Amino acid sequence: VQLQASGGGLVQAGDSLRLSCAASGRTFSPYAMGWFRQAPGKEREFVAAITWVGPSTYYAASVKGRFIISRDDAKKSAYLQMNSLKPEDTAVYYCAADTRGGHDGSYWYRVYGYDYWGQGTQVTVSS
């Protein structure tokens, strides 16, 4: 399985961006997909996750109400619609997939909850 993230860019505060994460390779049937971000000098942090069945969604408090995660089973893709962007949203955004399952939803807030990662896409929000 390979994940390809795209859609990042340079925007102004208040603007919107939509990130995409496309999966390729063998049959892709994840339990969940997530988005994380990492700013310079900081640890990678959870942004949002979505289960493949349901689906159920999970958000970090810092983005809840502004970001929306979705997925398209047929396209083997997940998306992150980011609205009302702030300068503190500036980071490299990574998508990830959990194909192992067997654990509760709390794992999806953690880096170790995922076994596949995309290469990251830069999001820069200017003030």
Give pLDDT, residue 118. 96
Local confidence pLDDT in tens for the 127 residues of the chain: 899 999 999 999 999 999 999 999 878 889 999 999 999 999 999 999 999 888 999 999 999 999 999 999 999 999 999 999 999 999 999 999 999 988 888 999 999 999 999 999 999 999 9
Q: What is the pLDDT of residue 104?
A: 82
* Tally of CA atoms within 13 A in the half-sphere of 127 that contains its CB: 2
* Amino acid sitting at position 50: I
Q: Are 101 and 114 in contact (CB under 8 A)?
A: no
